[in-house]
């Protein structure tokens, strides 16, 4: 049986392994909740307690989903950073490819020059060789003068030296260019390896991101499932309350002088809050179960029960008055739920609906709308009775 409370509530691999463990643990939690929810003895469950447990799990799932979302953002940023690094390396690769192509062309040009110089040198060497085979007398006879002979020999020697130097320079340049080309090719190989490594890292990060997003989606689904179960528990609570309260009927809550709004006049009831007031018996929220029982205690005994807290704390505050058996003009209480419930015992007898020992109680807010009601309740529904 359920009544409203004394007051209303205010509304890399290591990473992969850790994510997987947390994910499996969360699934076991939800499965456990689902098994509890589908149990045949569900009607014996304290629904307020199960709702609190589910809400705690929803809060935990929300917290984990936020952590996963934050991890996904971090992974997205890491992937973007890796993509940017790959783009920068690709720019350097493109530049070095262009430099390698330029060096290759320079090498080809110098090889062409070397061939041309070699041909020229070959002709000079041939002339020199021919000259060496010709006697000096023949050369002199074929020359206009000794001076022509000396000039011709000097030119051949100079040309030979010049061509030799040129060939040596071209060969040295070709060697340097080949060395530079090798260096560029080695650098290109290193950059390509680095780019491949970044691509592999990006792929791994993407896999973790996909897994993280998948687990976040699973947590979101578990949140939705838990919230759905909470709504179902509340629906069952309302049905049970209507069923158990079928033997109750409304009456005049102001009989004996209880002020409906704490000010001596009737007023509407706000289920999301309460009207706080001060009165001789204490200050509390009007048209709540605690307010009504405080007034009844004061009316009968002059004792101020105000400040005792929510209904589920009355048995602690008034532990010396706690009894297991009911009597007329006592306070019936239970502690289940977030706030518990208290009612005033008008009489003790047999519950005509169940045929079991019962108490006839008057109370406020059994309908969650701040209304007065009275009727029979089984004694077993209550945790105890407070004698004032």
* End-to-end CA, the chain: 25
CA distance 308 to 331: 13
pLDDT tops 90 at residue 126: no
Q: How far apart are CA 41 and CA 270, in angstroms?
A: 34
Choose between 68 and 331: higher pLDDT: 331
Query: How far from chain centre, in Å, is Cα 108?
Result: 60
In this structure, are 225 and 258 located in the same domain? no
148 and 109 fall within a common domain: yes
Q: What is the pLDDT of residues 265-282, one digit of tens each?
A: 444 444 444 555 556 666
| pLDDT: which is higher, 2 or 206 | 206
Average pLDDT, the chain: 75
Asked if 281 and 195 sit in the same domain, the reply is no
- The dihedral sign for the CA sequence 352, 358, 362, 366: negative
Phi/psi of residue 386, each to 5°?
-105, 125
Residue 154, judged by CB atoms within 10 A of its CB (0-12, 13-18, 19+), counts as exposed
Phi then psi for 332, rounded to 5 degrees? -85, 135
Give the pLDDT confidence score for residue 346 in this predicted structure. 95
Q: What is the pLDDT of residue 274?
A: 55
pLDDT at 276: 55
Identify whether residues 157 and 24 lie together within a single domain.
yes
In eight-state DSSP terms, residue 250 is -
Q: What does residue 354 show for φ and ψ, rounded to 5 degrees?
A: -105, -20
pLDDT in tens, 133-182: 555 555 556 655 556 656 666 766 776 677 678 778 778 877 887 888 78
Burial class (CB in 10 A: 0-12, 13-18, 19+), 60: middle
pLDDT at 131: 58
* CA-wise closest residue to 287 among 250, 244, 317: 250
Are 361 and 341 within 8 A, CB to CB?
A: no
> Residues with Cβ < 8 Å from 343, sequence gap 6 or more?
3, 289, 293, 331, 332, 333, 361, 362, 363, 366, 377
CATH number of the domain to which 293 belongs: 3.90.1720.10
State yes or no: pLDDT of 237 exceeds 80.
no
User: Does residue 234 share a domain with residue 147?
Assistant: yes
Q: What CATH number does residue 211 fall under?
A: 1.20.1270
Q: Are 226 and 57 in contact (CB under 8 A)?
A: yes
| DSSP assigned state of 376 | E
Tell me, yes or no, whether 1 and 135 share the same domain.
yes
Distance between CA 161 and CA 301 in Å, rounded? 134
CA distance 321 to 307: 16
Whether residue 218 is found in the same domain as residue 148: yes
3-state secondary structure of 334: strand
What span, in angstroms and rounded, lies between the C-alpha atoms of 205 and 12?
7
User: Does residue 32 sit in the same domain as residue 84?
Assistant: yes
Choosing from 242, 267, 298, the residue where a domain stops is 242
The three-class DSSP label of residue 303 is: coil
Q: How many domains does the chain have?
A: 2
pLDDT of residue 342: 93
Q: Report pLDDT for 323.
A: 96
Tokens of 57: 């799990």
Domain encompassing residue 54: 1-242
Task: Give the separation between CA 285 and CA 301, rounded to whole angstroms.
Answer: 21
Write out pLDDT tens, residues 73-122: 898 898 888 888 888 888 888 888 888 888 788 888 877 877 777 777 66
pLDDT one-digit tens code per residue, 25-55: 444 444 444 444 333 333 345 676 787 788 8
Partner residues linked to 322 by β-bridges:
386
Count Cα atoms within 13 angstroms, Cβ side, for 344: 24
Neighbour tally for 129: CB within 10 Å: 10
- What are the φ/ψ torsions at residue 273 (nearest 5 degrees)? -170, -160
Whether residues 273 and 234 fall in one domain: no
Residue 206 shares a structural domain with residue 108: yes
């Amino acid at each position: 049986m359920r009544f409203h409370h004394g007051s209303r509530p205010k509304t890399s691999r290591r990473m992969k392994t850790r994510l997987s463990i947390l994910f499996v643990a969360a699934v076991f939690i939800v499965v456990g909740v689902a098994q509890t929810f589908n149990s045949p003895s569900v009607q014996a469950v304290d629904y307020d307690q199960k709702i609190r447990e589910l809400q705690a799990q929803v809060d935990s799932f929300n917290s984990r989903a936020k952590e996963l979302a934050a991890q996904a953002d971090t992974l997205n940023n890491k992937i973007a950073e890796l993509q940017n690094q790959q783009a920068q390396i690709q720019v350097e690769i493109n530049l070095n490819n262009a430099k390698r192509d330029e060096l290759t062309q320079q090498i080809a040009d110098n090889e062409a020059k070397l061939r041309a110089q070699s041909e020229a040198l070959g002709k000079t060497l041939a002339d020199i060789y021919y000259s060496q085979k010709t006697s000096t007398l023949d050369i002199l006879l074929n020359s206009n003068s000794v001076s022509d002979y000396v000039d011709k020999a000097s030119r051949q020697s100079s040309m030979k030296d010049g061509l030799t130097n040129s060939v040596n320079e071209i060969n040295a340049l070709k060697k340097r260019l080949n060395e530079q080309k090798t260096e560029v090719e080695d650098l290109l190989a290193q950059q390509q390896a680095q780019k491949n490594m970044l691509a592999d890292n990006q792929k791994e990060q993407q896999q973790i991101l996909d897994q993280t997003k998948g687990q976040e989606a699973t947590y979101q689904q578990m949140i939705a499932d838990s919230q759905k179960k909470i709504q179902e528990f509340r629906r069952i609570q309302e049905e049970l309350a209507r069923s158990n309260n079928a033997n109750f009927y409304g009456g005049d809550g102001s009989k004996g002088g209880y002020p409906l709004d704490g000010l001596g006049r009737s007023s509407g009831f706000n289920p999301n809050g309460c009207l706080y007031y001060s009165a001789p018996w204490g200050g509390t929220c009007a048209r709540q179960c605690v307010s009504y029982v405080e007034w009844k205690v004061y009316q009968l005994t002059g004792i101020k029960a105000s400040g005792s807290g929510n209904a589920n704390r009355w048995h602690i505050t008034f532990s010396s008055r706690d009894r297991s058996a009911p009597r007329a003009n006592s306070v019936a209480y239970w502690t289940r739920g977030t706030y518990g419930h208290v009612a005033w015992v008008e009489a003790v007898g047999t519950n005509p609906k169940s045929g079991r020992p019962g108490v006839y109680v008057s109370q406020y807010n059994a309908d969650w709308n701040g209304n007065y009601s009275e009727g029979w309740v089984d004694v077993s529904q209550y945790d105890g009775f407070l004698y004032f």
